[in-house]
Amino acid sequence: MTTTPPSPLDPLAMLSFKAMPYGGSYGAYSLTLIAVLASAGLMAWRERRWTPVLAAVLGVLLAHGVQLTYAIPRGLGWVALRFSVPLILGAAIGVLAIPATFGEGRFPRAALAFLLVPLLAFGPQAPARWQRMADGASMLAFSWLVDKPDYRDFSTQMVSPEATAHLRAIQAKIPAGEPVLAWVTTPFQLDFARNPIADVDSAGLGTPWARLPAARWVLWEVRGYATSGHDNYRNDAQSPNEYVARQGRREMALATRLEIAANHSRIVYFDRQFVVFELPEPLDGG
């Protein structure tokens, strides 16, 4: 079951602990950011070394601010926050490394207490995620997807050696070293050392700066778990959310272009799920 987070335009939204669709809450993420910055400030005050700490703090705030400035007006604040977590965790590691950087001094207990705050903020979700991991499923926070039987079966199948071997055998139809435009559900199965691969996915298509690469070879999963066809793309295009709607429009546009291009190209493989073809010339970058 999904939940609807509060509007990020609400002044109190960043203090809300209501669960978000992809796990966590605004409040948990806010506490994590505050704890990291507080630890950095305490460490700087203790050691009287402000320059590296201020640089790290300003970097975190700048990246966090730019991300939210783009996301919040588009109704995507709750999506952007979950991508801030690696940044915040990286800052926490930097704070832990400060004593070693200075060559002397010890990490104060108060700063360590600050860094325990994220455990309290996200801790209530941990047992369920550990249980999923023990069951051999996933540690993803959003149980509404992880607990779906078809998704679990699909995920189990896609990490099997047989599934990887199958997709790589299809990739082998393309000459080694040739750049490839790949739109598949499981790009991690591809051999990126064999071919330069431009990985197409829905989230990337939703960005304003998305451009097609200069590749003459296309590997396209025309019907897959994440390449679901025109009906779903059309539904996305009708979303009231600007980002999702743009994503759907671009999915439809790219699928249409590839269908037309395939009809005028040399098809080297087709099994009703995957198609590989060589374009007469690369698609333009639009």
φ, ψ for residue 170, nearest 5 deg: -70, -45
Instruction: Please report, as a single letter, which amino acid is at residue 40.
Output: A
Percentage of the chain lying above the pLDDT 70 cut: 65
For residues 237 and 223, what is the distance between their CA atoms, to the nearest angstrom? Answer: 18
- Report CA Rg, the chain: 23
The confidence score (pLDDT) of residue 143 equals 72
pLDDT tops 90 at residue 119: no
Q: How many helices (H) and strands (E) does the chain have?
A: 11, 5
φ, ψ for residue 162, nearest 5 deg: -65, -40
The confidence score (pLDDT) of residue 275 equals 95
Under the banding of pLDDT at 50, 70 and 90, the label for residue 38 is confident
* E runs forming strands in 173-255: 180-183, 197-199, 217-221
For residues 261 and 277, what is the distance between their CA atoms, to the nearest angstrom? Answer: 9
Q: Report the pLDDT averaged over residues 202-209.
A: 79
Q: Report the pLDDT averaged over residues 137-165.
A: 81
The confidence score (pLDDT) of residue 109 equals 65
pLDDT tops 60 at residue 190: yes
277-279-285-286 Cα dihedral, nearest 10 degrees: -70
Query: For residues 282 and 161, which has the higher predicted lDDT (pLDDT)?
Result: 161
Q: Residue 66 CB: number of other CB atoms within 10 A?
A: 11
Element (H, E) at 234: helix 230-237
The confidence score (pLDDT) of residue 197 equals 95
First CA to last CA distance, the chain: 38
pLDDT tops 90 at residue 284: no
For residues 247 and 237, what is the distance between their CA atoms, to the nearest angstrom? Answer: 7
Instruction: Please report, as a single letter, which amino acid is at residue 51.
Output: T
Q: Residue 29 CB: number of other CB atoms within 10 A?
A: 23
Instruction: Please report, as a single letter, which amino acid is at residue 258.
Output: L
Q: Report the pLDDT averaged over residues 91-107.
A: 56
Of 51-65, 89-103, 225-239, 241-255, least confident by mean pLDDT is 89-103
The confidence score (pLDDT) of residue 1 equals 41
The confidence score (pLDDT) of residue 209 equals 79
Element (H, E) at 274: strand 274-278
Percentage of the chain lying above the pLDDT 90 cut: 24
Q: Report the pLDDT averaged over residues 99-125.
A: 65
Look over the chain and give the mean of its residue pLDDT values, rounded to a whole number. 77
The confidence score (pLDDT) of residue 159 equals 85
pTM (predicted TM-score): 0.69
pLDDT tops 90 at residue 167: yes
Distances 259 to 84, 94, 101, 127, 182 between C-alpha atoms, Å? 37, 48, 56, 46, 14
Q: Residue 73 CB: number of other CB atoms within 10 A?
A: 12
Whether residue 187 contacts residue 158, with contact meaning beta carbons closer than 8 Å, is answered with: no
When mean pLDDT is compared over 76-80, 117-121, 139-143, the highest value belongs to: 117-121
Q: Report the pLDDT averaged over residues 251-275.
A: 92
The confidence score (pLDDT) of residue 2 equals 44
Take residue 224 and report the two structure tokens written for it: 């897959």
Whether residue 223 contacts residue 255, with contact meaning beta carbons closer than 8 Å, is answered with: no
